[in-house]
């Protein structure tokens, strides 16, 4: 007699199916977030530019941002990206701009760069757009000079990724506009803008932007 083996199947309940779908959606969102990397949106290279050899050379690193913490983190990450490409990074001294909240003119970086023996200046302006992670609530953009909130504009600085109503946090998308200046002649030889996907973290996006900027400069033949 042939013995038959039967296997019982248990169909998931509606609540179980909902839980499985939710878990799968969360995993897909996580993978998509991991796959999204900072990227260069546009760049320009001077047609006639000096040849800079980065290996073993010094580069003056400067960041400009409304938030002092963002400025410092940006400089640390940019300096790390320069070192990763074989250069030596020197953090620029604090320079008072002509007007509060305005970018520092390129020529004001030249003297500190020359004093440090740097061949170039890597200057970066960081801006951001912040919105509630759940899609609700107000949003605002952060940039030098002022930031917009709703339909108005407010001067001064603002924190990022801070708790809002109900314990919700803002998810902030960062962008970096960088330029490389020849310290000897003062010429802007390369400039680019890069953006990173929204995040509740500061270190990660700025680190990714720094890497994208330096890789872009290398691919453009600046270094």
pLDDT at residue 23 in the model = 43
Residues in the chain: 223
- Does some domain include residue 21? no
- Does some domain include residue 114? yes
Range of the domain at 96: 40-219
Give the integer Cα–Cα distance in Å for 63 and 76: 9
Lowest mean pLDDT, pick from 110-114, 117-121, 169-173: 169-173
CB proximity list for 208: less than 8 A, separation 6 or greater: 37, 38, 196
- Does some domain include residue 137? yes
pLDDT at residue 71 in the model = 93
Where b means 16+ CB within 10 Å and e means fewer, 138-172 reads eebbbbbebbeeeeeeeeebbebbeeeeeeeebbb
pLDDT at residue 148 in the model = 33
- Does some domain include residue 167? yes
Domain count, the chain: 1
- Does some domain include residue 33? no
- Does some domain include residue 12? no
- Does some domain include residue 20? no
Of the ranges 97-111, 123-137, 178-192, the best mean pLDDT one: 178-192
- Does some domain include residue 19? no
pLDDT at residue 16 in the model = 52
The CATH number for 125's domain is: 3.40.50
Q: What is the pLDDT of residues 72-99, one digit of tens each?
A: 999 999 999 999 999 999 999 999 888 7
């Amino acid at each position: 007699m042939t013995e038959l083996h039967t296997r019982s199947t248990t169909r998931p309940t509606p609540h179980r199916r909902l839980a499985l779908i939710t878990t799968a959606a969360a995993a897909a969102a996580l993978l998509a977030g991991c796959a999204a990397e900072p990227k260069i949106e546009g760049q320009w290279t001077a047609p006639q530019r000096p040849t800079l050899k980065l290996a073993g050379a010094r580069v003056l690193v400067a960041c400009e941002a409304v938030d002092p913490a963002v400025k410092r983190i940006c400089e640390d990450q940019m300096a790390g990206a320069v070192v990763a490409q074989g250069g030596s990074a020197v953090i620029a001294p604090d320079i008072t701009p002509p007007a509060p909240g305005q970018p520092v003119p390129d020529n004001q970086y030249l003297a500190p760069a020359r004093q440090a023996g740097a061949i170039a200046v890597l200057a970066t302006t960081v801006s951001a757009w912040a919105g509630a992670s759940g899609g609700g609530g107000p949003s605002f953009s952060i940039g030098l000079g002022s930031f917009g909130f709703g339909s108005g504009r407010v001067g001064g600085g603002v924190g990022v990724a801070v708790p809002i109503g109900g314990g919700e946090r803002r998810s902030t998308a960062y962008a970096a506009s960088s330029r490389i200046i020849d310290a000897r002649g003062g010429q802007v030889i390369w400039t680019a803008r890069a953006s990173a996907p929204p995040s509740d973290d500061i270190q990660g996006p700025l680190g990714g932007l720094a890497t994208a900027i330096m890789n872009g400069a290398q691919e453009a033949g600046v270094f």
